[in-house]
C-alpha cells in the first residue's frame, strides 16, 4: 500500500515543475564555509533558482534566491583541479575523460535511446538486493529514453525515493544522435548539425522538470568525442566520465573499475556478466562516483 501511494505520488507529480528563463552562469559563492559554483539559473515554478555545485564534495543542489554575494572562485578546490586536469589531457576519439576510479568500484548504467520495451530491472534489483541500501549507481540518461520509457523511469524514481538506490543523474545528452553507417569521427556528437550545448541543457531542463537535480557528470554518447566537443562540455562545467570496464566489450573487472553496462536492454551481455560477478562475490563494495576522482 505504501509503495502504491508513493508510486501514485510520483506519477501525479510528474512534470509538475515549470522551468523557464534557463541560463548558463559562471560564478562562485560561499555559504556556511562551503564554496558553491553556480552554473545555471532558471525560474522554477516562477521562483528564481540556481544549480549549484559544492566544489569540494562534487554534490549538486538547487538553491533559491536570494543567493549570498558572489566571491572569487577557488581554483585550487577539488572541482576546479579536476576540470583543469580534464582539459589538459589528450583528446582521444574514444573514451575521453576520467576512466578509472581512485576509490573502489563504480557502477554506471547508460540509458541511451532504445526501441526495447522496459528496462534491465534485474540489474538494479541485483544491486539493492546484494549491497547495503541505498546503493550508489550512476545513470547516464537521455531525454529520448525517458520519453519512451515513462514507466521504467518512474520505477527508478520510486527506488530512489525508497532509498534502495542512491542515484547520480548523469548527462548523456537529450538526443544521443547515432548514424549506423557513418565513421566515428562524423558520428554521435561529432555529427554535422549537432548542437551540443542545446543537447546537454535540454536534458538538464527535462530532469529539473521532473524534480531531479542533475549531477556534474557527463558521458559522451558512444564514448566518442574530439577536442572541440570535450572543451564545450568542460565549458558547461561537466566532469567527463569514460570507462575502463565496458563489460560487454570483454574488459575485465579491476579494483579501480568504472563499470559500464546498459540499463536499457540494448546490451544484455554486459548485464549478464555483472550479475555473475555479483553472484560470485567478486564485487564486495560499490562506491559513489562523487568520491572516484
Query: Interface with Zn ion includes 267 (CB under 5 A)?
Result: no
Instruction: Specify whether the CB–CB gap between 241 and 247 falls below 8 A.
Output: no
Retrieve residue 213's grid coordinates: 537535480
**CA distances (Å), 167 to each of 102, 134, 138, 192, in order?**
19, 9, 6, 33
- What's the CA angle centered on 42, arms 17 and 49, to 5 degrees? 85
> By CB under 5 A, which span of 36-44, 110-118, 270-278, 282-290 interacts with Zn ion?
110-118
**CA distances (Å), 104 to each of 40, 258, 289, in order?**
31, 9, 9
- Taking the least distance from each CB to Zn ion, the nearer of 36 and 218 is 218
Query: Interface with Zn ion includes 242 (CB under 5 A)?
Result: no
- Taking the least distance from each CB to Zn ion, the nearer of 28 and 214 is 214
Q: How far is CA 133 from the centre of its chain?
A: 20
Binder to Zn ion among 136, 170, 221, 270 (CB under 5 A)? 221
> By CB under 5 A, which span of 34-42, 74-82, 104-112, 274-282 interacts with Zn ion?
104-112
- Taking the least distance from each CB to Zn ion, the nearer of 97 and 221 is 221
Residue closest to Zn ion when measured from CB atoms: 112
Binder to Zn ion among 112, 167, 271, 278 (CB under 5 A)? 112
**CA distances (Å), 198 to each of 110, 115, 189, 201, in order?**
20, 23, 11, 5
Size of the site for Zn ion (CB under 5 A): 3
Query: Interface with Zn ion includes 120 (CB under 5 A)?
Result: no
Distance CA 172, CA 288 (A): 18
Query: Interface with Zn ion includes 263 (CB under 5 A)?
Result: no
Instruction: Specify whether the CB–CB gap between 86 and 98 falls below 8 A.
Output: yes
Retrieve residue 183's grid coordinates: 565513421
Shortest gap between Cβ of 174 and Zn ion (angstroms)? 12
Q: Which positions from 182 through 201 interact with Zn ion, judged by CB under 5 A?
A: none
- Taking the least distance from each CB to Zn ion, the nearer of 57 and 198 is 198
Label each residue of 60-118 as H, E or C. EEEEECCCCCEECCCCCCHHHHHHHHHHCCCCCCECCCECCCCCCCEEEEEECCCCCCC
Shortest gap between Cβ of 233 and Zn ion (angstroms)? 15
* Residue 71: strand pairing partners: 28
- Taking the least distance from each CB to Zn ion, the nearer of 34 and 186 is 186
Binder to Zn ion among 110, 160, 194, 267 (CB under 5 A)? 110
- Taking the least distance from each CB to Zn ion, the nearer of 7 and 178 is 178
Residues within the interface to Zn ion (CB under 5 A): 110, 112, 221
Amino acid at each position: 500500500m505504501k509503495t502504491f501511494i508513493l508510486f501514485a505520488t510520483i506519477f501525479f507529480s510528474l512534470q509538475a515543475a515549470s522551468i523557464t528563463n534557463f541560463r548558463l552562469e559562471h560564478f562562485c559563492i560561499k555559504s556556511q564555509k562551503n564554496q558553491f559554483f553556480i552554473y545555471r539559473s532558471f525560474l522554477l515554478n516562477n521562483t528564481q533558482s540556481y544549480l549549484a555545485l559544492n566544489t569540494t564534495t562534487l554534490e549538486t543542489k538547487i538553491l533559491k534566491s536570494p543567493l549570498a554575494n558572489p566571491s572569487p572562485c577557488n581554483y585550487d578546490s577539488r572541482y576546479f583541479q579536476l576540470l583543469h586536469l580534464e582539459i589538459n589531457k589528450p583528446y582521444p576519439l574514444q573514451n575521453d575523460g576520467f576512466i578509472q576510479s581512485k576509490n573502489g568500484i563504480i557502477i554506471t548504467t547508460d540509458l541511451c535511446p532504445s526501441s526495447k520495451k522496459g528496462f534491465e530491472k534485474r540489474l538494479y534489483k541485483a544491486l539493492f538486493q546484494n549491497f547495503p541500501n541505498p546503493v550508489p549507481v550512476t545513470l547516464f540518461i537521455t531525454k529520448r529514453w525517458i520519453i519512451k520509457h515513462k514507466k521504467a523511469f518512474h520505477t527508478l524514481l520510486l527506488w530512489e525515493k525508497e532509498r534502495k538506490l542512491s542515484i547520480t543523474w548523469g548527462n548523456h545528452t537529450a538526443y544521443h544522435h547515432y548514424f549506423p553507417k557513418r565513421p566515428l569521427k562524423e558520428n554521435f556528437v561529432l555529427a554535422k548539425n549537432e548542437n551540443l550545448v542545446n543537447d546537454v541543457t535540454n536534458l538538464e531542463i527535462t530532469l529539473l522538470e521532473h524534480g531531479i537535480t542533475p549531477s556534474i557528470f557527463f558521458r559522451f554518447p558512444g564514448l566518442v568525442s574530439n577536442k572541440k566537443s570535450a572543451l564545450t562540455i568542460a565549458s558547461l562545467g561537466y566532469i567527463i566520465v569514460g570507462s575502463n570496464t565496458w563489460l560487454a566489450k570483454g574488459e575485465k573487472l579491476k579494483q579501480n573499475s568504472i563499470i559500464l553496462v546498459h540499463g536499457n536492454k540494448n546490451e544484455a551481455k554486459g548485464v549478464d556478466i555483472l550479475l555473475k560477478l555479483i553472484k560470485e562475490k567478486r564485487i564486495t563494495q560499490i562506491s559513489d562516483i562523487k568520491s572516484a576522482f
